[in-house]
Structure 1
């Protein structure tokens, strides 16, 4: 019997990208699209392409991810952006070390496939936060929104941020808990045509996300 792995895809107005993303999931990977208030028909598109759709009315990346984790039912769970910037075919390479027991958390380190895939302001904001993380003993070069871990353990970390600071708090808490974190290079492409990033799509979005990150850094205890 093939192992099933749930894939949580937080979603806000990603109707243009969803068909390609859902169609590229490897066999055995089941999509849970968490709609975060889309107005472009994303839930209907997701359902037509075989995804389970869960709705989270509270706006925020962390709120959508947390609701998806609660809805998932498999031992291992992936989190993946729904905008088409990542290739779902790379998920098995992230799953492998967690499934083998050599890592507790596997995360992607973005490698842009073109100059425009990762705007300078988003890259600079990520580099700043990652450097601050390393100063606190968390060995990461990126805060990529593609990751794999065991569902029960993820929920047990008690991540409370429900906005853009969610992945940062997750990494800090995971490192503090002694988790073995594996960072793996993944391709990072421009978003699907017709979509725009809520974070990297503008300087304003990047500043807002970086502000959330810095708030988390000040409030969450890291590894000692």
Structure 2
């Protein structure tokens, strides 16, 4: 078996179980739509609440009484996702935004990419058949530039770096090296690296650096259903650029300081 196939298919050829992680903050009006689009392949819903002051938790449990509801330990989307990953029990983890912009009905397409041999199925709005009805022209240009930079630095062929719809084998979470959710928030109120919106870029470049097998899956992005987005084109674009630079330097230092890939649990043997 390819030693890079850390998320290789289940040995008994059964369908993988799927946990969906939804990070939410005051999304009570959007959650019913998201939960209503989940298919039978989803065996666990993990809602990570960021301190909602509306009825996000109550509405989630009304529509999905079996949902696992947890509160994130610090602040930021990255911390919320890691808290969610730790609570997952499925073979596969799907990251879904709570605002209704992603179609959970596309999850089977991502799972098919995993069972075909990928470790990580990365959503893309820009592959043939993909589309976004929400992205602005300026954000589109910025995304293309940042995606091109990562492709040059890491030898990847990504078409959509800044997108949060991703599905992967739970066993590859250690490769992401995300911050421990049990760590306390810094006394000065700052975020731990990886706790913020940079998390999606971190995951994409760290998996590329680790040699994970990534397969892009086309999908359609829709406008947020209710409420306003926290995205800021220039601020978030600068954050992504900083993330790429820091992570590339980190990757080069790691390569210089080792002669072989770090030993990992033999996940394929455990299947």
Q: Same fold (TM over 0.5)?
A: yes
Q: Following the alignment from structure 1 to structure 2, what is the Cα–Cα distance between the partners of residues 127 and 159?
A: 25
Secondary structure of the equivalent of 1:220?
A: helix
Number of residues paired by the alignment? 215
Secondary structure of the equivalent of 2:239?
A: helix
Aligned to 1:145: 164
167-176 vs 49-58, which moves further: 49-58
Aligned to 1:175: 208
Secondary structure of the equivalent of 2:174?
A: helix
Q: Following the alignment from structure 1 to structure 2, what is the Cα–Cα distance between the partners of residues 57 and 38?
A: 14
Residues 175, 206 of structure 2: 8 Å contact kept:
no
Please report how far the alpha carbon of residue 109 of structure 1 lies from its aligned counterpart in structure 2 after TM superposition.
Answer: 0.7
176-185 vs 122-131, which moves further: 122-131
Task: State which of 28, 45, 70 in structure 2 corresponds to 1:15.
Answer: 28
Secondary structure of the equivalent of 1:40?
A: coil
Q: Following the alignment from structure 1 to structure 2, what is the Cα–Cα distance between the partners of residues 63 and 75?
A: 21
Verify: 1:28 aligned to 2:60, yes or no: no
Aligned to 1:94: 110
Secondary structure of the equivalent of 1:13?
A: coil
Structure 2 stretches of 5 or more lacking a match? 1-13, 180-193, 256-271
Residues 109, 183 of structure 1: 8 Å contact kept:
yes
Task: State which of 195, 215, 224 in structure 1 corresponds to 2:227.
Answer: 195
Aligned to 2:77: 61
* 1:34-67 Cα shifts (integer Å, max 9, x gaps): 1112222211111211132111142211111111
Aligned to 2:265: none
Q: Following the alignment from structure 1 to structure 2, what is the Cα–Cα distance between the partners of residues 94 and 3?
A: 12
TM-score between the two structures when normalised by the length of structure 2:
0.74
Task: State which of 97, 101, 106 in structure 1 corresponds to 2:121.
Answer: 106
Aligned to 2:196: 163
Residues 102, 221 of structure 2: 8 Å contact kept:
yes
Secondary structure of the equivalent of 1:148?
A: strand
Secondary structure of the equivalent of 1:121?
A: helix
Structure 1 stretches of 5 or more lacking a match? 200-204
TM-score between the two structures when normalised by the length of structure 1:
0.88
Residues 77, 197 of structure 2: 8 Å contact kept:
yes
Q: Following the alignment from structure 1 to structure 2, what is the Cα–Cα distance between the partners of residues 90 and 213?
A: 26
* 1:189-222 Cα shifts (integer Å, max 9, x gaps): 1111x222221xxxxx222222221221121135
Aligned to 1:202: none
Q: Following the alignment from structure 2 to structure 1, what is the Cα–Cα distance between the partners of residues 75 and 138?
A: 23
Residues 124, 219 of structure 2: 8 Å contact kept:
yes
Runs of 4+ in 1 over 4 A off after TM superposition: none
